[in-house]
Amino acid sequence: MADQGQWQVAGNAAQTYERALVPAVFASWAPLVVALADPRPGERVLDIACGTGVVARLAAQRVGRSGSVKGLDLNPGMLAVAASVTSPDLPTSAPIEWREASATKMPFPDAAFDVAYCQLGLQFFPDRPAALREMYRVLVSGGRLGLMVWQGIQRSPGFGVLAAALARHVSIEAAGIMRAPFALAEADELRTLLATEGFREITIQPVAGAVRFPSVARFVKDYVGGSPLSGHVAKVPDEARAALVSEVTDALTSYVANDGLAFPIEAHLATAKK
- Tell me how far apart the alpha carbons of residues 54 and 167 are, in angstroms, rounded to a whole number: 31
CA distance 62 to 208: 24
Phi and psi dihedrals of 50, rounded to 5?
Answer: -75, -15
Cα–Cα distance, 163 to 119 (Å, whole number):
22
How would you write the pLDDT of the chain (274 residues) with one tens digit per residue?
A: 333 334 444 558 899 999 999 999 999 999 999 999 999 999 999 999 999 999 999 999 999 999 999 999 999 999 999 999 977 667 889 999 999 999 999 999 999 999 999 999 999 999 999 999 999 999 999 999 999 999 999 999 999 999 999 999 999 999 999 999 999 999 999 999 999 999 999 999 999 999 999 999 999 999 999 999 999 999 999 999 999 999 999 999 999 999 999 999 999 999 999 9
CA distance 135 to 131: 6
Say whether 133 sits in a helix, a strand or coil.
helix
pLDDT of residue 59: 97
Cα–Cα distance for residue pair 69/117, rounded to 1 Å: 11
In 3D, which of 149, 95, 145, 144 has the Cα closest to residue 124?
A: 149
20: which residues sit within 8 A by CB, 6+ positions away? Answer: 213, 218, 222, 225, 226
